[in-house]
Amino acid sequence: MAIYTAATTVTVTCASHPSLFSSSSSFSSTLKPFSYLTKSRYPCLKLAHPLLTLSPKASSSSTEPMLPPYNVLITGSTKGIGYALAKEFLNEGDNVVVCSRSAERVKDAVQSLSEEFGNQHVWGTQCDVRVGNDVRNLVEFAQKNLKYIDIWINNAGSNAYSYKPLAEASDEDLLEVVTTNTLGLMICCREAINMMLKQPRGGHIFNIDGAGSDGRPTPRFAAYGATKRSVVHLTKSLQAELQMQEVKNVIVHNLSPGMVTTDLLMSGANTKQAKFFINVLAEPAELVAKYLVPSIRSIPANGSTRPTYIRFLTGIKAYSKIFSRLAFGARRNKYVVEE
């Protein structure tokens, strides 16, 4: 791996290996690849730069096997795909913590799931992922009831139920989208990683993407698309940070449910184009969860320590559905009546 930056000052002391730098002490172009600067290769090298300082690893490898049933925490899990995932994990015999900003929705979700799966497998608490103290309390709640979490799924997200050009978006809507989808995700990742670093068995974190995560434009919900694009970048950065720290038993993954017929998606079914793609590509949350959960559970079951990107709606599947629609009229008016 090679890391270079422009005009960044670094203090280097190394009498034994002056060839690391050609003539100056800046990173402009003189610094050789970062792999040259490891302590194992140049133990005499002393650095004073944040990019070159590796934090001490808290736990580099699992000392306990991760066996089912798994302890699972899902944010934004009182409705939609989050609730469907919780239900499917419970159906597999796992233990689940659900949470939401709404205490009432948490209460209803826990009651409904407990009636079906028993109250010894499901717990719930109120949590606003935008608030650091709330997420820390969520971690404490999970540890109190389950002692540890094997799988943490960052599902909480918002579009402020707003589909309009960015020029017409209110300050309140923009703050709702950005603080939930970006700040909230960062806070949850931070707290999940800190928790799992202290667990002998480590853990797996899954960040759910959305429209825009592949870099394609998202007209009428530009802010949402921009935040979902950042999900992929954040996940890659966290993977790189954990690798730099030589942490092998805490892994961050991406999870892509595709288009799911949730209230959030259906609230935007008010244009000809939106109706077409919802009918052609969207699937119910329950169906998506039945596919995703076995794929998620297979990762700890196989002892995998490699980051992965689990996708429900692959490119081939999407193009196949679009072709079937155009060629044979498949799925016309499946969810909404088209003009």
Q: Which residues have a catalytic role annotated?
A: 224
Number of Cβ within a 10 Å radius of residue 188 = 26
Are residues 196 and 205 in contact, defined by beta-carbon separation less than 8 angstroms?
A: yes
Rounded CA gap, 129 and 139, in Å?
12
Rounded CA gap, 225 and 130, in Å?
18
Three-state secondary structure call for residue 194: helix
Sign of the Cα torsion 293, 294, 295, 298 reads positive
The set of residues, in sequence order, having a beta carbon less than 8 Å from that of 81 and lying 6+ positions away, is 155, 208, 257, 260, 262, 285, 288, 289
Rounded CA gap, 130 and 133, in Å?
9
Beta bridge partners of 255: 208, 310
Tokens of 163: 């589909």
Rounded CA gap, 321 and 313, in Å?
10
Three-state secondary structure call for residue 178: helix
Tokens of 187: 């806070």
DSSP 273: H
**55 vs 3, 204, 306, CA distance in Å?**
17, 20, 21
Q: Using N-to-C axis directions, what is the helix angle for 184-197 and 222-244, rounded to 10°? A: 20
